[in-house]
Amino acid sequence: MLRDHFCSSPWFHLRINPNGGYAPCRWDFSLRNSGKNIRDTGLLEYFNSEEMCGLRNSLLHGEATLTCQSCHYEDGQNKVSGRQRQLLKSAIDVRNFDKTFCSSPHYEIFKHSYEHQGKTSKLPVDLQIDLGNTCNSACIMCHPMFSSRLQDEYIKLSAIEPNLFFVPARSHNWADDPVLLEKFINDLEKIPDLKYLHFLGGETLYLKSFYNICEKLIERGIAKNISIGTTTNGTVYTPKLEKILTEFKHVHLGLSVESMHDINDYVRWPSKISDVRSNMQKFLSLRDKYNIQVSLRITPTIFTVYHLDTIFKYMIENNVIAESCNILQDPRSLRVELLPDDLRQTVLEKINKVINQYNLIDPCQSIVNRRRDDLIGPVISQVVFEYRNFLESYQTPATATADREELVKFIRAFEKLHGNSILDYLPEYEKFLRSCGY
Amino acid sequence: MKNFSEAAVIKSDLMLDVNLVISPRGGDTYCQIELNQKVLFVGLVSEKTNLNAKIPLCDPLYLKFFVKRTHPQAIHIDLLTVDGREVLPLYLNQASPPTSYLDFTGHWELSIPNFYTWYHEITGQGWIA
């Protein structure tokens, strides 16, 4: 059905991965290689490539695609998915799909693509640019493609647990190449209505290319007409950021963190939550000083979910929303859905305690556009209720027993490298983990 | 809608439900109301009056009042909804003049080029790509 599967994102969005490979969507976590790279293919050429046209065609035929898998899972869990948020950029509301689709300002553009095998004359105006994988963290739920530190660790981990960890290919940051960067900026200049660039890494604020690209956008006069966003792990703060953000039309800053508890250090190794907390306050000061938007980007795992209440309290007390990136599906052994029933109940009790303590009310209607300053309170409430509802309703995977055993092997391999133990951070998990062979 | 071709077929049949509630103030008041150049009501408004109409989904919505009155007569627009979504009095600033109390002789109008795109914008649903 069109209502269940259609997404307008491929008509205005694309993504460049850290190695320069193109991907059709920021929410495509399949990490498939499109075979097209900024080294050999221009931005606008890729936009009408076989892959993009094929995806548009499938969507117009109401088909479910692998690219859209994570959004469909979120839709199924009644969370606001990336698909819903992208549809909104075409003024399409899934709750009133037929009418808003047919009256969308992009309807004629969809029609053109339907009649021309998925091709479009519209230009991409919302890009996600992964500049490279240079990162100071090795978060255990991340992928080596997005972290140089994790890439190094995977080489060692593959020797410890070869069935779980692969030897990653060396990644080369495309944005470190000044010729490619110039080519990219030239391509951007061909998009007169460019609206939004979201930069990711690696750790964006750690990447020189982030500052280079921003300076070039400022020099060329593009900056003042566009909004930019970036997501940081909160371990880096630099005053350089302050200079940059005043030059853009609007700036959005996402902070990746799921818990204000020490468990964040275990999962987002080797960060220190005390440093992250201190930087978060600096970012919030920037928000207040320059009117930028700051949100938390939360992707809870089976471990951080236990202290998710701490992040909810932080959100409420600091008036900052969270945008859930996705419900973590990979690595599969870190999925929240593998929680045993007793821990699941404890997590629910803790979330309910937050709801009661702060008198949160579930907004009666889903808020899809979460970046509204006037709706921070309701959005926070909605995020809290979404997670509560998810925790109440998810189905434990049929493969849970095997996945939990895999979880133990997975963390034991990391612990050999990091010299730590999950039980020092989450003693409450001892019975559960021991029962799985820890 | 299974796919785009079904959407293209259905599109022409989709309609907007327009509901307008008006009432007189200070006595019976003469008024002519047009919706997209079609007369929806003409005559004296002597009591709370509920008017309904359907217009094609993608047609602009152009609502026009002509009021003829003497003091203290007036027409009050109590409510305007489209597909159950409140337009007036919530977004009164979109009307010209921006009031729902028509205590003058003359015209009042509201023009919305594409209802759902307008509604998207006015309810703060974010930028359109």
Contacts within 8 Å (CB) and 24+ apart, A411-419: A411/A140, A411/A438, A412/A161, A412/A438, A413/A157, A413/A160, A413/A161, A413/A164, A413/A165, A414/A140, A414/A153, A414/A157, A414/A269, A416/A160, A417/A153, A417/A156, A417/A157, A417/A160, A418/A269, A418/A270
Give residue-wise pLDDT tens across range B59-113: 999 999 999 999 999 999 999 999 999 999 999 999 999 999 999 999 999 999 9
Q: Does B117 touch chain A (CB under 8 A)?
A: yes
Kindly report the three-state secondary structure assignment for every residue of B51-91: EEEEEECCCCEEEEEEEECCCCCEEEEEEEEECCEEEECCC
Choosing among B4, B114, B117, B125, which should be mutated to test the A contact, i.e. which has the most A CBs within 10 A? Answer: B4
pTM of the model: 0.93
For chain A, what is the mean pLDDT? 95
For the domain spanning B14-122, the CATH number is: 2.60.60.40
Higher pLDDT, A323 or B101: B101
Enumerate residues 288 to 307 of chain A having a beta carbon within 8 A of any beta carbon in chain B: none
Query: Residue range A103-131: average pLDDT?
Result: 97
> Do A104 and B127 make contact, defined as CB atoms within 8 angstroms?
no
Backbone torsions φ then ψ of A268, nearest 5 degrees: -100, 55
Contact A101 B127 (CB under 8 A): no
How far is it, in rounded angstroms, from Cα B29 to Cα A144?
74
In this prediction, residues A106-119 reach a mean pLDDT of 97
Average pLDDT over residues A140-158: 96
For chain B, which residues make up each domain, given as ranges?
14-122
Distance (Å) from the alpha carbon of A2 to chain B's nearest alpha carbon: 5
SS3 A33: coil
* CA nearest neighbour of B120 among A367, A90, A109, A78: A90
With cut-offs at 50, 70 and 90, classify the pLDDT of residue A217.
very high
pLDDT digits (tens, 9 = 90+) for A72-93: 988 988 888 999 999 999 999 9
C-alpha pair distances (Å), B10 with each of A212, B7, B36, B83, B116: 50, 5, 22, 17, 17
Place of tokens 């820890």: A438
B44 contact A CB<8A: no
Contact at CB, B7 and A13, closer than 8 angstroms: no
Please, which pLDDT band fits residue A243 given cuts at 50, 70 and 90? confident
Query: What's the mean pLDDT in A176-195?
Result: 96
- From A3, A11, A96, residue closest to B1, measured CB to CB: A3
Closest CA to A428 of A326, A336, A306: A306
Cβ of residue B4 closer than 8 Å to a chain A Cβ: yes
How many angstroms away from the CA of A105 is the closest CA of chain B? Answer: 7
Q: Is the pLDDT of residue B34 over 80?
A: yes
Contacts of A54 (CB under 8 A, 6+ apart): A118
